[in-house]
Amino acid sequence: MNLILFEPGEIASPLSRADSRAVHIEKVLKRAPGDLFDAGIVNGPRGKGRVVSVGSDGIVFEFEATTPTTPADPIDLLLAIPRPQTARKILGEATALGVASIRFFISEKGERSYAESTLWRSGEWRRHLVEGAAQAFDTRIPEVTHFASLSEAIEGLPQGSQRIALDNYEATRRMTPVGPGLAAILGFGPERGWSAGERDLLRQKGFELAHLGTRVLRTETAVVAAVAIAKAGA
**What DSSP letter does each residue of 24-39 carry, written as one string?**
IIIIIS---TT-EEEE
Would you state the pLDDT for residue 234? 65
For residues 25 and 88, membership in a common domain is answered with: no
121 and 32 in a common domain: no
Contact 195/108 with Cβ under 8 angstroms?
yes
- pLDDT at 87 (0 to 100): 97
pLDDT for the residue 11? 87
Distance CA 36, CA 42 (A): 19
Q: Where are the alpha helices (DSSP H) in the chain?
A: 20-23, 84-97, 118-121, 124-135, 150-154, 196-204, 219-231
The ranges of the chain with pLDDT < 50 are none
Domain stops at, among 67, 97, 118 = 67
Question: Residues 81, 61: one domain?
Answer: no
- Residues 121-163 pLDDT 10s: 999 999 999 999 999 999 999 999 999 999 999 998 988 899 9
Kindly state whether residues 193 and 139 are assigned to the same domain: yes
- CATH number of the CATH domain containing 59: 2.40.240
Residues 63 and 96 in one domain: no
Predicted pLDDT at 164: 97
Choose one of 37, 67, 97: the last residue of a domain: 67
Can you tell me the distance from the alpha carbon of 4 to that of 112, in angstroms, rounded to the nearest whole number?
Answer: 35
Domain stops at, among 13, 33, 67: 67
- 10 shares its domain with 58: yes
113 and 208 inside one domain: yes
- Burial tier of 132 (Cβ tally within 10 Å: 0-12, 13-18, 19+): buried
Kindly state whether residues 45 and 113 are assigned to the same domain: no
Structural domains counted in the chain:
2
Residues 31 and 89 in one domain: no
CATH code of 211's domain: 3.40.1280.10
CA distances in angstroms from 204 to 146, 154, 163, listed in the order given: 22, 11, 11
- Is residue 63 domain-shared with residue 94, that is, in the same domain? no
**CA distance linking residue 203 with residue 184, whole number of Å:** 15
Write down the pLDDT at residue 181. Answer: 76
Query: For residue 83, which of 39, 130, 116, 48 has the smallest C-alpha distance?
Result: 116
Which domain does 173 fall in, by range?
A: 75-231
